[in-house]
Structure 1
Amino acid sequence: MRKIVFYQAALVVGLFVAWEVFVRLGILPVYLYGQPSGILTKASRLFLEGDLARDIGATAFASITGFLAGTAIGSTAGLLLWLSKTAAAVLRPIIVAINGVPKIALAPLIVVWFGVGLGAKVAIAASLTFIVSLIAVYQGTQEVDEDLVKLMRSLGAKPLTIWRKVIVPGSTPWILSTMRLNIGFAMIGAVVGEYISSKMGLGYMIYNAGALYDLNSVFVGIFCLMALALALDAVLGRIEARFKW
């Protein structure tokens, strides 16, 4: 494990060193690609001023809140659909249609319904994670061992009992894998919300910096988003490990 971490760190450091060298040699124009030393200086200044911590906190809160709300509601809905094949058949084309609509197209409606600010960011993040969880978890219920379901039915178990004892536990791996996917979707939703209607957050910072051609600030925001994604993935990894035990 330590060897893997060493290789990962060496790869990242090597890429940044090469980037810095190429910029200093003039191979990569700094006005197009930024510069690692400039990015570090910019990050330090933003952190000392308090802007970076504020923006990271805003994006993290919106992402986590939208992730929890969308994943919980979507997973529950996906599990409940197993109880009624008729309801699942009726709702299937509607779910497919909603999933096919780019969520950015819903942004104007979400802004009108939830206002400008945190509510819109959470709502967009939740809408993305909800539909992914719904589809994936319902598919997971269909993959549960049918022999177990038949055995429970032969023993006289009611559908609700089968659902609690077999379907929900059997779908847990799908729920966990969906949660990992939803980290990225939640962050996409939060950042899109910050692009559209926000006065703080990493997405807001990146958008404004890009408009001013301040590429160092843009990279600061991007790297912070990457670090946030890694942190959330690590937390989910620990949760998943507990379930495996």
Structure 2
Amino acid sequence: MVLWLGSWELCARTIIDPFFYSQPSKIWDKLVIWFTDGTSLGSIWENMGVTLEEAVLGFITGVVGGVVLGVLLGRSTFLADVLAPFIKGANAIPRIVLAALFVIWFGFGLPSKVATAFVLVFFAVFFNAFQGAREVDRVLVDNARILGASRWQLLRTIVLPSATSWILASMHVAFGFALIGAIVGEFIGADRGVGLLIAHSKNNFDSAGVYAGMLVVTAMALVAEWLLTKLEHRLTAWRPPVASGASGL
């Protein structure tokens, strides 16, 4: 990493034009200014909070909607056959078009960004939850039914635990999608947020500002990934550890 950054800095000072490609020292200076003096849109922390709020709300609603509908359709062949064409058609719509429509419908405020993040998260989680519900061991389900388990008991004790790994795997990707949805929504129309900050830097041909905004978003995504990993470990603590392939040697 040090070698790469050093090479970039050297090339920016000797070969390439830093106006277009910037350089690590200018990006660092931009970050220092943002976190000490603020940005043209106010405090960087306030803008990060706005983007994070949009992403988290879109993530939570998208995960809940994706899990509920995915498990429901995964356990009902009839509903899956009826709704499959509509879901596939909705999934085929370009997200950037939906983001533009949401701005028209809901304005530049929070709802349009949450809606964009929701759409991106929902489909990522839905298909995994659907497949996870389909992969439940039929023998376990049949045995539970023989013992008199109700549908709710089947769902709570067999279906959801079996689909947990599928759902959690999708959540790692889904939060990145939620951030993308928030940023895209802010690009199209917003009054605050990291996405708008990046858009302003782009409009002013401030490549250092664009890179600095990218680093801020990356840091937010990495922190969220760490938190999701901690959550996954808690939710799957009941599972026995997977034996290593080298354990038999």
Q: Is contact 1:209-1:217 (8 Å) kept?
A: yes
Matching residue's letter, 2:35:
F
| Structure 2 counterpart SS, 1:213 | coil
Structure 1 residue 159: Cα displacement: 3.1
Q: Is contact 2:124-2:174 (8 Å) kept?
A: yes
Structure 2 residue aligned with 1:232: 224
Q: Name the one with the larger helix percent.
A: 1
Q: Is contact 2:74-2:131 (8 Å) kept?
A: no
Structure 1 residue 58: Cα displacement: 1.5
- The within-5 A match list for 1:1-245 is 11=1, 13-24=2-13, 26-51=14-39, 52-245=44-237
Q: Is contact 1:120-1:197 (8 Å) kept?
A: no
- 1:58-114: CA deviations, max 9, x gaps? 211111111111111211221222342211110111111111111111123212332
| Structure 2 counterpart SS, 1:209 | helix
Give the stretch that moved more between structures: 47-56 or 128-137: 47-56
Give the stretch that moved more between structures: 185-194 or 45-54: 45-54
- 1:36-62: CA deviations, max 9, x gaps? 111111111122223322222221111
Matching residue's letter, 2:66:
G
Q: Is contact 1:192-1:203 (8 Å) kept?
A: yes
Matching residue's letter, 1:132:
A
Q: Is contact 1:66-1:126 (8 Å) kept?
A: yes
Matching residue's letter, 1:46:
W
Cα distance in 1 for residues equivalent to 2:129 and 2:197: 35
> Superposition RMSD on alpha carbons, in Å?
1.5
- Identity of counterpart residues, as a percentage? 37
Cα distance in 1 for residues equivalent to 2:31 and 2:46: 13
Cα distance in 2 for residues equivalent to 1:221 and 1:201: 10
Structure 1 residue 187: Cα displacement: 0.9
TM-score, with length taken from structure 2: 0.88
Gaps of 5+ in 1: 1-10
Structure 1 residue 21: Cα displacement: 1.7
TM-score, with length taken from structure 1: 0.90
Q: How many residues align?
A: 233
| Structure 2 counterpart SS, 1:156 | coil
Gaps of 5+ in 2: 238-249
Q: Is contact 1:75-1:175 (8 Å) kept?
A: yes
Cα distance in 2 for residues equivalent to 1:136 and 1:93: 17
Matching residue's letter, 2:70:
G
Matching residue's letter, 2:62:
G
Matching residue's letter, 1:33:
Y
Q: Is contact 1:77-1:134 (8 Å) kept?
A: yes
Cα distance in 2 for residues equivalent to 1:244 and 1:122: 29
Cα distance in 2 for residues equivalent to 1:23 and 1:40: 14
Q: Is contact 2:108-2:191 (8 Å) kept?
A: no
